[in-house]
Structure 1
Amino acid sequence: MTLALMGAVVGMAAAPADATALTTAQATACPTGWGSLAKTDDSATTAPVTDIRTGRHACYDRMVIDVPGAGSNGLGYSVRYVDHLYQDGSGRLIPVGGGAVLEVRVAAPAYDPETGAPTYPGRAGRPLPGVDLTGYRTFRDTRFAGSFEGETQVGLGVRARLPFRVLQLTDRVVVDVAHNWTGAR
């Protein structure tokens, strides 16, 4: 084999690794433009919150608040950065770990409106039941603040004040917090 041919074979052998790295980098290109200002929707429902869960993604950490039965009329929310989380009704300070705190409010009770029985097992001031944040890049802490006058309030501690988006889907509200700032602030 000539030296030129050997170089071409070596170059071709290296190409797939480089192409894979390029494809991986392109596949994980993170979105920009979410910003960190408050996001709200004024819709409301009487369907109750039944679960709050989290997940990890390549570019962001995600919190999902499930409200089965909310329907297509919309599910109201307010998500914003706060200096401190205060429980609705009592005004009690609820400490939330992390470099910044997102207050997440969903316009749905965490109890049955007819009976008052809890539909979500959260306890005020305590971490969210069943949520383990081990291995998350952005999320640091979660705290259930309570459910008062038809609204459920949660504290989400994050690494720093980072961009976030809120998705309003049928039967759930989704909060994604980016791992980094990837564009103009």
Structure 2
Amino acid sequence: MLRKRTICATLVLVGAALTTAAVPAVAGQPTAARATACQADWGSLPKAGSDSTATPVRDVRTGRHACYDRMVVDLPGAPLGGIGYSVRYVDRLHQDGSGRHVPVSGGAVLEVRVAAPAYAPETGEPTYPARAGRPLPGVDLTGYRTFRDARFAGSFEGETQIGLGVRARLPFRVLRFDGRLVIDVAHDWTGGR
């Protein structure tokens, strides 16, 4: 009986060693960080920051990451924390001012509002070359796991509105940096890759 227990314990230890050896090493990153790299406990409830800026939107770009897709709204010169926003899931996207429906493809739609104009406040000249109801200029979402569509809804009374179509209602986060507002949408609810 003692011999069977010893053999079982040995097999468990060998199995654990083989399982650990199968996890690829990431230079400079501890094992625990690798295991939790894709955890997205961000939730899907609305997120907002109450600041505003007269610094206009200059560009919107996107990127693909292992755990999420990312949208970046560039506002060069806007101070850290000085960018107001509201990001939330909506049933349908409606353009500010006119109330016109802006169709956005995908299983769910995130309304992204940035408390900054997409035009120069002094002259009214556009600073971002987008047209209401049209896809965002220069944004190609081919091959993205989560993003499906990105539409410009407009810029009205100092606030810019974008519709982001995603595969499904998924967790997201919003980050503010100097001159940038970042929206990350996870690939799934479990944090899997």
Indicate the TM-score class for this superposition, using the shorter chain for normalisation: 0.7 to 0.9
SS of match in other structure, 2:41: coil
Where do 1:83-162 residues align within 5 Å?
83-162=91-170
Q: For the Cα contact (< 8 Å) 1:28–1:59, is it kept in 2?
A: no
Stretches of structure 1 that go unaligned for 5 or more consecutive residues are: 1-14
User: Distance between the aligned counterparts of 1:76 and 1:127, measured in 2?
Assistant: 23
Where do 1:1-185 residues align within 5 Å?
19=21, 21-23=23-25, 26=34, 29-182=37-190
Q: TM-score, length-normalised on structure 1? A: 0.85
User: Distance between the aligned counterparts of 2:93 and 2:168, measured in 1?
Assistant: 16
User: Distance between the aligned counterparts of 2:22 and 2:139, measured in 1?
Assistant: 34
SS of match in other structure, 2:25: helix
Report the counterpart of residue 3 of structure 2 in structure 1. Answer: none
Question: Displacement of 1:19 after TM fit?
Answer: 3.6
* Distance 1:95-1:44 versus aligned 2 partners, 3 A rule: same
Moved over 3 A (4+): 18-25
For 1:133, give the aligned amino acid: L
SS of match in other structure, 2:125: coil
Q: For the Cα contact (< 8 Å) 2:81–2:176, is it kept in 1?
A: no
RMSD of the alignment, in Å?
2.0
Q: For the Cα contact (< 8 Å) 2:81–2:177, is it kept in 1?
A: no
User: Distance between the aligned counterparts of 2:182 and 2:54, measured in 1?
Assistant: 18
Stretches of structure 2 that go unaligned for 5 or more consecutive residues are: 1-17
Question: Displacement of 1:143 after TM fit?
Answer: 0.3
Question: Displacement of 1:28 after TM fit?
Answer: 7.3
